[in-house]
Amino acid sequence: MRLLLAFAAAAILPAADPNCPRYPAAARTETQESIDLDREFQALSKGPRIRSAAASIRAAEARGIIDQLLFGKMAADGVAPAPRTTDTEFLRRIYLDLTGRIPTPEQAERFLNSSVENNREALVDELLASPAYADQFALFFNNKLKITRAHESVSTPGRDVFYAFLRDMVASDRSYDAWVRELLTAAGEVDTVPGTQFFTRWMDVAGPIQDSWDDITDKITTTFLGYKTECVSCHNGRAHLEKINLHLTTRTRREFWEMSAFLSRMAYVRWSDDPIGFRPRIILVDRDYGTYSGSVPPTNPGNRPARLGAVVTPRYFTSDAEPRSGEWRRDLADMVTRDRQFAKATVNHFWDYFFGHGIVDPPDAWDLNRVDPKMALPPDWPTQNSYPELLERLADSFAANQFRLRPLIRQIVLSQAYQLSARYEGQWRPGYVKYFARHETRRLSAEQLYDSMITATQTEQPMSLGSTGRVVRYANQLPDPTEPVTDFRVIDFLNALGRGNWLTIDRSSEPTILGLLYQMNDGQNVNRSLGASNANVGIRNRVHEVDAMGLSDEETIQRLFLATLTRRATDAEMALVLERRSGPRYQWLSDLQWALLNKLDFTFNY
């Protein structure tokens, strides 16, 4: 009987699958693990406890809103915070977070020997003004937007135009809401107008236009508003999302169409007299007529279930607001950037970058019914928002600073909460991660690992990019993962360490046997640590340099530790290294350099 029903179903269903065709992406919106962590945090917030003395002291000393609220709650809930970072811990962390690489030994010494009061604040300001900051945060945004020429609808000139725009916005600290509006309303030729590449990267190339509008709408809500709408682009939330997202369970596919309808006057005009490659050239235009209709060509129904009964005009997903003019994309851009959720989601994205965990987590999967402390929760669902008041206050100051990113970043990294050590004293519980009671240790990204390796060993080399011949030195300057197309050895390294390709392969920092074999044995990597200058690298590397400085063995070893691990060797480490010396100095120095580059405290950001 059961099987007969299944067969009957098989006969009724159309050939196109009515189920969600984009599962892997949708699945990552909310996993059981994330909900369980929320649950544990909620239990910790409610259980009987003894005030934490350590946190109370911090709360009393707190000077900014981040510290007041974080330490206040830790104190009240009996969660002890980790100790403050030492200067060397902070130095390494802030360089990695703001510039994507460790400091040179000269930069390290300048900070560590500085007698300036508030030297941490001075260092932060110096790094925020550096070109490396702009590189690192252009990459931060591009990791979300993923504008890569590996996608068939993004040309190399288009990618370069987009990258230049992104970097310029970050370097000039232009108001984030202003350039997001510029991006969302960009029109014209995709090879030359910055922002238009967003609409071709995320379009559905082969499908009907509605699939493109729907895909891009989901990308907009995820990136700029913090919540995925992919699921309801195919079906109502009811009877599908009850275990995944309370808010979306109450939403309908029609409501999604109404949000997608803001894009329904946008069109792609293609022509293909491109003499250079096979890519069609595209112009993005906006009509002043038309609306969202579900009618698709019968020969190309696309990836989603039939849009029965869909003729809709735009309504904003969370406010029901209708367009003010006939220029719907412009109205959408205005509504998105004026949405309070825009400020909160953005602040939360940055919090996640610096802390390794969002105030609302995952930062691209908000459940809007679980983040408002005034909204009642069903008995078996925990809150998703660990610090609602903090989120509001951070969003307030972000807006008060005209949505500029430098003040936001400054506010975060100058807090004592950000400057807690990764070392936790006492019994750690998984739910403490939501208190931000210690700094979260994470592996360096592929780019950070490469950039730190070449900085430690002083083996930076020029890399040419694509067809432009533009030259960069650091992996965080590469405009997309197809680069540096002129040096496969760097590409191999970055891919082996999990860079991903912004298209079919996700970024990952999971350990793999092949990745470790690469790190330990790849010729390029090993060459960096060799004791003699070599043709591959073309300049004297760090081992060669320190060996030639004519210092004692102890001083030389300390120099290598400082250059690679951004700290001095402990007594035990020094004794060990001295004991293992054998053969000529450049030889055991290169062994030490190799070992330091493979150490866990080189490989991780802590």
Partner 1 sequence: MTNSIHKTCGGHAPYTRRHFLFGAASAGLLSVHADAEITTSRPAVSLRKTARACIFVNLNGGASHLDTFDPKDGPWNPAGVALDQHPGGLVLSKLLFPKLSTLTGELLVLRSCASWEAAHERGQFYMQTAHTQNPALAGETPHIGAVIGHEKGAGNVMPPFLSFNQTNLQGATFLGGSYMPMMPVANRAGITTLTHPFFGAQSEQRFEERFRLLQDLDAPIRANPYNEIMGAYAGYYARAKSMMYNAAVDAIFKFTVDDENRYGATTLGRSLIVARNAIRANNGTVFINATQGGWDTHADQFNRGVATQNYTLSRDLDLAAGSLIEDLRASGDLAHTLVVIMGEFGRTPGPLNSRGGRDHYRPVMSVALAGGGVRGGRTIGITDSTGAAITSPQWKGDRPIYPEDITATIYSALGIDWTKGINDTPSYRRFYYINGAVEGRYTPVEEVFG
Pick out residues in 185-244 that bind partner 1 (CB under 8 A).
Answer: 239-240, 242-244
Residue choice 86, 441, 467, 536 for contact with partner 1 (CB under 8 A): 441
Give the interface segment with partner 1, choosing from 28-36, 52-60, 103-111, 465-473 (CB under 8 A): 28-36
6 makes contact with partner 1 (CB under 8 A): yes
What span, in angstroms and rounded, lies between the C-alpha atoms of 142 and 167?
Answer: 10
Confirm or reject binding of residue 530 to partner 1 (CB under 8 A). Answer: yes
Q: Is 535 in the site for partner 1 (CB under 8 A)?
A: no
Check residue 22 for interaction with partner 1 (CB under 8 A): yes
C-beta of residue 371 within 8 angstroms of C-beta of residue 360: yes
- Smallest separation, CB 16 to partner 1 (Å): 7
Q: Residue 84 interacts with partner 1 (CB under 8 A)? A: no
- State how far the Cα of 334 lies from the Cα of 324, in Å rounded to an integer: 10
Is residue 534 within a helix (H) or strand (E), and if so which, with residue range?
none
Burial of residue 113 (number of CB atoms within 10 Å: 0-12, 13-18, 19+): exposed
Backbone angles phi, psi at 399, to 5 degrees: -65, -40
Amino acid at 259: M
Closest separation in Å from C-beta 601 to partner 1: 6
556 contacts 589 by C-beta, under 8 angstroms: yes
C-alpha distance from residue 220 to each of 145, 158, 208, 280, 336 (Å) = 10, 20, 19, 24, 9
CA distance 263 to 286: 9
Among residues 112, 164, 193, 595, which is the contact residue for partner 1, using CB under 8 A?
595
Give alpha helix (H) positions in 291-362. Answer: 328-338, 340-355
- Helical spans, DSSP H, in 503-599: 513-521, 523-529, 542-547, 553-565, 571-580, 585-598
CB of 289 to partner 1, least distance (A): 31
What binding mask, one character per residue, do residues 125-154 give for partner 1 by CB under 8 A, x or -? ------------------------------
In the list 189, 322, 327, 522, the residue contacting partner 1 (rule: CB under 8 A) is: 522
Determine if 382 is a binding residue for partner 1 (CB under 8 A).
Answer: no
Pair 284, 187: CB distance under 8 Å? yes
Q: Pick the binder of partner 1 from 50, 521, 549, 571 (CB under 8 A).
A: 521
The reply on whether position 32 binds partner 1 by CB under 8 A is: yes
Residue 448 binds partner 1, judged by CB under 8 A: no
Q: Give residues with Cβ within 8 angstroms of 80, minimum separation 6.
A: 52, 54, 55, 74, 425, 426, 437
Using CB under 8 A as the binding rule, whether residue 246 contacts partner 1 is answered as: no
Q: Which is nearer to partner 1, 241 or 261 (CB)?
A: 241
Cβ proximity to partner 1, 256 vs 342, nearer residue: 256
Q: Which of residues 33-72 bind partner 1 (CB under 8 A)?
A: 33, 36
Closest to partner 1 by CB, 132 or 422: 422
Closer residue to partner 1 (CB): 126 or 601: 601
- Residue 168 in contact with partner 1, rule: CB under 8 A: no
Q: Determine if 573 is a binding residue for partner 1 (CB under 8 A).
A: yes
Contact indicator for 494, 450 with CB cutoff of 8 Å: yes
Minimum Å gap between C-beta 217 and partner 1 is: 19
Contact 263, 382 (CB under 8 A): no
CB 542, min distance to partner 1, A: 17
Are 519 and 525 spatial neighbours (Cβ–Cβ below 8 Å)? Answer: yes
Scan residues 501-520 and list those touching partner 1 (CB under 8 A): 504-505, 510-514, 516-518, 520
Residue 57 to residues 68, 122, 165, 289, Cα–Cα distance (Å): 11, 25, 45, 62
Least distance CB 237 / partner 1 (angstroms)? 13
- Which parts of 247-286 interact with partner 1 (CB under 8 A)? none
Q: Which residue among 299, 325, 427, 552 contacts partner 1 (CB under 8 A)?
A: 299
- Among positions 338, 404, 442, 585, the unique one binding partner 1 when judged by CB under 8 A: 442
